[in-house]
Structure 1
């Protein structure tokens, strides 16, 4: 037996009067939060949700979403959190794929959910629960429900949730995680330093898998969990300062926004013990800046929702600044050539791994699962190498490599150069069609301030500094913003596709 629900019931019994969960102006002890979770579990049962039934949420960060996250394992239901940014056919496709018994949303999103549900067969129509729906909604139902519940017995391999990928590399896929996998996430408290006196401030979207990296160990240790409604750099600074936050988890774009916020002052973040960068590689210049301003706090996690990850610990980040660390505990990693043989230290190949947080598979897609998991090894599609101590260094994604006249160009090599210019805030390099070379590198750039540098001047500056002639960018495009996923990742695929449409048809 392995039941995630026991984390909530244990906290409610042993730490009933200790403050546990804070959302906006609402503050709950562990006892109060445990009672709310029980009420939500009873409401879901009253709607016919039983073990293995799926519960879809279409909600931004809010107390109700956090309650559903913990009510589902209490009754053995499968949590399926969907992004509130999904619309129309995209939302309909994922709801149809999940086939839920119940959909929980709010008043501002319910019309979109209802439109998506019209695409489903009548006999597959789920219940809709609206969090702010008056007498018929979530608040009224939970207020009337009992705060006592008999948890459903769950085993380690029972499904806890289905996380749909953010779609940075194609159509989203439903990634299945069991109770055992999420329990392994909870064990990350030790290397991250999360304990009973810790305060995690979560400002990124809960529907992003990276949110579990700190949420699970915090709920295991019964510290304090502060949930922001949305990411806002000034709000995050305020929350850390006011609540004496000890741990935050941010994607690189959010970390950059926090550093550039008008109210940023490292002294406001003195309480922080751990700043975890997740979701995408953090460029070296920003690592150096954080380590200078807030030494001993930064760590970096590289990983896939599918279930392989490495951690560059705070104690190693200055010694190995260009690395993304070592595999998580109970995991193995290999770097392999095209023929499947192992690479030597320093030799670039595909990163593959296996271990304790590996997915059960893709929901309803055994064919895709077999493509990615071969002989028990998860093939990441990412390229990298290890040093003599086994530390991993990312090179780039296989799909992001640029093939220019038969020469492979890794965009990250060029990005690391471009971001060193003082006018550059962020950069994304990708391949665009070229009549002579097939593909040529393009650099899309965000500037610190409008007009800080001309595109041609920045192009020449980059090209003077790249290591090889073939890495020179043919064009710099200055943009106001990048397309990003709900997790904050730059959607390089969308940038690339736009240029292939606009440029490709003219050559």
Structure 2
């Protein structure tokens, strides 16, 4: 299962089919494969061999996609890093991953220059995109243009060879690199294509950062099938909707904040989005209020995915959504799931416990961290650290992230229960509930909200409105804070940890 054979296959079997759209660039499979080949050969000319690691610090771009497939052709591994990674965190990840080459863009070179003295990367293996040579960097465009566009040959690649290392930690703590092999990513290809009903004629749109694993749940099946991939530099609701209308997009994935942004965009309409066959929500729970609104305008399109980069997913199919709207679905074929208590024992149907799973996309481990791997994978089962329960039909209901659990007076308080109520207020657009310190109860819920455009409500009035509708006293919010926006990762996920930090600063617990 050599992933590098996919662009080659499509260039041969469907050479003139549109492979990639990025801004003004429109590349057929023949054109894309030639570009990938030039980069693959450039790596070989630099002396990079099978098994070595190539790091990228790039925004969404054609060059980033080329790198993904070029490393696959020569048996190297890609280490996609976010441009938000700086300083000590950047050094830690580049060092931990054993990266021997870095590809970046002009705007990041200053951050990279600041730490180059701490890295063990040859000076001639720093590449910069953008077409403008810079001191201390080789020009990506010139390096690739000098190479042949034919497929590299003579490199044997098998299932167990590493394709990528994805880092999940931020700039603090020890790096934690999740390894995905060619086999694991090939399982993304086949299982996700089947689950989303993709075909070679599908048109797949992505606007989030493709350095994060969530992007791969549509990227891999799209490139496996030889379909058309529409990549945007970043998410903008208006341009996102216009791209769907213009390119007749059939499949897209979004995090909840993007779903909300799309629903509130000025050019949102069912007519503009009528080509869509799938809207996949992942990364965090999509609140029922937003699910219902989306389904009113675009019925029969919503899928929801719960999953971990380490290698387990459940998918709520669009045809199961009407009967199980609060669920995050079931494990795909060949996956298994159980709910366990703190002793590792399986709990009865309907009882809350930790979500544990296994399947064909399970990582072989964290890179060079067997200790962490042993904590995450026990007897072949991946322990998620998330809380949920199964119903009698085997559908999973996500109660909350274990790390977001609020323990107030010794009682478990699940933020999502409160969020589902708060988001029903007509003035509220988005909501995030997290625990803050409390002298008597240890911690207590705080509700942060973003209001709808032109909406107005006092924080105290909103707090009263929420608490009047909450059944259990221990779930009542102690305060409401109205914000212009939430801190978010480059993948668009809401960062509750960042919102919590000021309240817990100086304390030994919680952050």
2:333 counterpart (318, 329, 333): 329
- Is it true that 1:180 corresponds to 2:183 in the alignment? yes
* Residue 168 of structure 1, CA deviation: 11
1:132 counterpart (121, 130, 133): 130
Q: Is the 8 A contact 1:168 1:492 kept in 2?
A: no
Q: Is the 8 A contact 1:428 1:445 kept in 2?
A: yes
Distance in 1 separating the partners of 2:336 and 2:172: 24
Aligned length in residues: 503
Distance in 2 separating the partners of 1:207 and 1:399: 23
1:208-258 deviation per Cα after TM superposition (whole angstroms, max 9, x unaligned) = 101111111111111111111111111111111110000011111111111
1:379-433 deviation per Cα after TM superposition (whole angstroms, max 9, x unaligned) = 0000000000000000012221111111110111001111111111111111111
Distance in 2 separating the partners of 1:240 and 1:172: 37
1:164 is aligned to 167
Q: Is the 8 A contact 1:169 1:493 kept in 2?
A: no
Segments of 5+ residues of structure 2 without an aligned counterpart are none
Distance in 2 separating the partners of 1:191 and 1:252: 20
Mapping of residues 248-397 of structure 1, within 5 Å? 248-397=252-401
1:277-332 deviation per Cα after TM superposition (whole angstroms, max 9, x unaligned) = 01111111111111110000000000000100000001011110000000122110
SS in 2 for 1:266: coil
Q: Is the 8 A contact 1:166 1:485 kept in 2?
A: no
Residues 326/221 of structure 1: CA separation in 2 closer, same or farther (3 Å cut): same
Q: With the length of structure 1 as denominator, give the TM-score of the two structures.
A: 0.96
- Is it true that 1:189 corresponds to 2:193 in the alignment? yes
* Residue 451 of structure 1, CA deviation: 6.1
Distance in 1 separating the partners of 2:333 and 2:173: 30
1:418 counterpart (407, 417, 422): 422
Q: Is the 8 A contact 1:385 1:392 kept in 2?
A: yes
Residues 168/94 of structure 1: CA separation in 2 closer, same or farther (3 Å cut): closer
Distance in 2 separating the partners of 1:170 and 1:290: 39
Q: Is the 8 A contact 2:88 2:171 kept in 1?
A: no
1:89 is aligned to 88
2:151 is aligned to 149
1:491 is aligned to 495
SS in 2 for 1:301: strand
* Residue 118 of structure 1, CA deviation: 2.3
Distance in 2 separating the partners of 1:142 and 1:441: 54
Q: Is the 8 A contact 2:75 2:157 kept in 1?
A: yes
* Residue 485 of structure 1, CA deviation: 1.5
* Residue 449 of structure 1, CA deviation: 3.1
1:173-201 deviation per Cα after TM superposition (whole angstroms, max 9, x unaligned) = 21000000100000111120110110001
Mapping of residues 26-175 of structure 1, within 5 Å? 26-121=25-120, 127-134=125-132, 136-151=138-153, 152-165=155-168, 167=170, 173-175=176-178
Residues 88/167 of structure 1: CA separation in 2 closer, same or farther (3 Å cut): closer
Residues 116/504 of structure 1: CA separation in 2 closer, same or farther (3 Å cut): closer
Q: Is the 8 A contact 1:101 1:126 kept in 2?
A: no
* Residue 150 of structure 1, CA deviation: 2.3
Q: Is the 8 A contact 2:54 2:100 kept in 1?
A: yes
1:431 is aligned to 435
Segments of 5+ residues of structure 1 without an aligned counterpart are none
